[in-house]
Amino acid sequence: MAYQPFNLAGHVALVTGGNRGIGLGMAEALAACGADVAIWGRKAAANQEAVQKLATHGVKAKAWEVDVAHEDQVVAAMADTVAQMGRIDTVFANAGVGYGAPSFVDMSTETYRKTLAVNLDGVFFTLREACRHMVERAKAGDPGGSLVGVASLAAIEGAARNEAYAATKGGVISMIKSIAVEHARYGVRANAILPGWIATDMTEMAQNSPAFAEKVIPRVPARRWGTPDDFGGIAVYLASQASAYHSGDTLVIDGGYSIF
């Protein structure tokens, strides 16, 4: 019999920030493997465009307009997503912002707070409500689930002029490890993904910088920018039963940049 763990038929995945970039790359791969996909994003037009792409795979795809920085929106959206999708098996807490500053001493408190609100508070609210659903399901005799926090290499390397961003991503890793330990008894696993230099809207300025192209990208052993499609495989793996015994880990997707 052929190995079938990557068949996600009957599986429901939620991807926050899933209407573009890494989130959409993951969502498309999940849908291609048969998963129904829920998208959370702040922009209605982008949400609907993403849903149309996902629907071409013959799966159920729906979107909710959610700003994860607001607890009330997350709580309401999680309840409605479960109600409309029937269940949630995997959550990718991917929504994030990349505010920086000319220097650490010039970084405003407003920038710091805005970054934490989305990148750390938003992940906390999203994963807490997902855990609530998965624990209730487990207690009713249906254990299991996969929770994924999208962090960054900034969490483990020195990210100059991005102290707030780095702090949030380091916090995501610690949060994921705690979730993994506490919820293993319910069959729930939790892991973090750490992207490297990926060509998305967030890195547009760097992509257009000749100096960056000359000095940074040549340090990537893969010799190229990463793309959202590069996250499809890890998304399917973490959603599938192939990762049933894989929890509390940090998975680096960076073309080898961090080890070179």
Phi, psi of 151 (to 5 degrees): -100, -130
The sheet that has 61-65: what strands, in order across it?
A: 61-65, 36-41, 12-16, 90-93, 145-150, 188-195, 250-253
Six-digit token string for 98: 């990349």
Q: Which residues are catalytic?
A: 152, 165, 169
- What's the token pair of residue 42? 């702040």
Closest CA relative to residue 90, chosen from 253, 255, 246, 256: 246
The CB density around residue 217, as the number of other CB atoms within 10 Å, is 17
Q: Which residues contact 73 (CB under 8 A, 6 or more apart)?
A: 66, 67
